[in-house]
Amino acid sequence: MWPDAVEKYYSRGFYLFLSRLQRILFGWIPFSIGDVFYGILLIGGIYGLVRLIRRLVRREAGWQWLLGAFRRVVFFLLWVYVLFNGLWGLNYDRQGIASQLQLTVKPYTTAELTELVGRIAGHLNNLDSMARLRRPELSSSHFVYRAAVGAYDSLSYKDERFAYKNPSVKSSLFSGIGAYIGFSGYYNPFTGEAQLNTVVPAFTQPYTTCHEMGHQLGYAKENEANFAGYLSARSSSDEAFRYSAYFELYLYAASELYGRDSTLAKGFREKLRPGIRQDFRELQAYNRKYANPMETHIWRLYGGYLRANHQPKGIVTYTEVTAWLIAYAKKNGWDSI
């Protein structure tokens, strides 16, 4: 595609109008209308499959009937593909947030990664006490969603490109299923709704919400949505939101540092306050509780989807936010992290 044209005419033009229209149309509905559509499609798909099996067993499915059914399925999938790209998918071809912020994203040294982990660990330790006092508020999804909108409002005061109007952030009707699949949130491009899996640990939900809202603003790639989520959550006046952002980023950066120098990574882990280490244990317990054989296959398929949409590293794309953070620090100073 042509990223300059997509950025100018679609991502910063038509899509802004279209996405806001979607949020106006569906945002006022108190439940996820997109999940209802998905549920109807699932039921319809199961019905169609049962009907096909029944016809095959009864030898009522001739070649002409099968060909007609195949054509209908292909036609439906083509419509889904066209709608997906027209409503949101073209954002995969845009210049993106790095171009907007004039960041030079390139390979980084272990010293730079160590500096980043140290900075993030320091923020976590400083935020821990106040964030923990604020944590009871996170039991209310409505509070999380309002506060996430407020976080983007704070960010947009500094950069109007992150202005977020007409909220449409909702709890997924399939949160329990999402826990087993491994998703903490997702964006529905057909209704413009940002979805949160409310089963995940409460302290992770603010950052996830901001991440999905980043998708709503047209940052389709996962590293871009991660960075938009970080910028917004960090801008929040709520310590629980800032803690959530730095907690997630610590997972990415410290994991990579462990692969390069495990001694350094363990040293940072030992300096974290006890409550923070307990949060890591809670997250690990959550992951163990919902672990299942299907999750690996689903994430493999999702990785293929990401690679097909200009994210060649697949699932690893999420962790690329580390490179963006370092590029941001090198441009604006380490104190900006």
pLDDT digits (tens, 9 = 90+) for 153-186: 999 999 999 999 999 999 999 998 889 988 899 9
CA distance 296 to 112: 32
Q: Look at strands 193-196 and 169-171 and give their pairing.
A: parallel
Give the mean model confidence (pLDDT) for residues 15-24. Answer: 96
> Which segments of the chain are extended strands (E)?
169-171, 185-188, 193-196
pLDDT at 267: 94
* Among 29, 34, 14, 15, residue whose Cα is nearest residue 217: 15
Spatial contact of 83 and 3, defined as CB atoms under 8 Å apart: no
CB-based burial label for 241 (10 Å; 0-12, 13-18, 19+)? buried
Backbone angles phi, psi at 193, to 5 degrees: -90, 135
Selected residue with higher pLDDT from 303 and 160:
160
Could you give the percent of the chain with pLDDT greater than 90?
A: 77
pLDDT digits (tens, 9 = 90+) for 183-233: 899 999 999 999 999 999 999 999 999 999 999 999 999 999 999 999 999
pLDDT at 317: 66
pLDDT at 1: 59
pLDDT of 281 higher than 80: yes
List Cβ neighbours of 156 (8 Å cut-off, separation of 6 or more).
162, 163, 164
pLDDT digits (tens, 9 = 90+) for 70-93: 898 899 999 999 999 999 999 999
